[in-house]
Amino acid sequence: MFLLKSKSSRIMVLFVFALVLAAATYGFAEANTVNGGTAMNLGEGTGTISGYAVTVSYTVDLANPSTVDEVGLTLDKSATDVQISLDSGVNWIDCTGAGVNWTCTTSVNVSAAQSLMVFASDQNPTFVP
């Protein structure tokens, strides 16, 4: 384990994490529709899948900047259920919010964050990861 001794090293780690989150978010930028009798917006499923365009922000713990306290999501259209995973879908975190603005409370160490996966739906589905 290594310790980040300088402020610039910690800032660099946070900058790299932000780049990883931005790259992961890029995959959700296409707009599609799943047709199953009624049109709905999904970010996970089978058939023709459409994601939400997602803007991501995150907040780190000021006392321990290597820990992500919160991930904020702004969607391009309204959703009723939003969840995220920072570990390639192993664990899912329920987000709170409504419409296009959602907040996901975490306590994930920056070095443990492998990827950002976003599940969003406007149909209140039963989500089984």
pLDDT one-digit tens code per residue, 73-108: 999 989 999 999 988 888 899 999 999 999 999 988
- Structural domain contains residue 21: yes
Number of domains in the chain: 1
Going through 16-95 in order, the beta strands assigned E by DSSP cover 34-35, 39-40, 54-60, 67-79, 81-85, 93-94
- Structural domain contains residue 129: no
Q: What is the pLDDT of residue 67?
A: 87
Q: Which residues span the domain enclosing 72? A: 7-121
- Structural domain contains residue 127: no
Q: How confident is the model at residue 34 (pLDDT cuts 50, 70, 90)?
A: very low
Highest mean pLDDT among 35-49, 58-72, 110-124: 58-72
- Structural domain contains residue 82: yes
Q: For tokens 């039963």, what's the residue?
A: 126
Query: What's this model's pTM, rounded to 2 decimal places?
Result: 0.58
Q: What is the pLDDT of residue 30?
A: 44
- Structural domain contains residue 54: yes
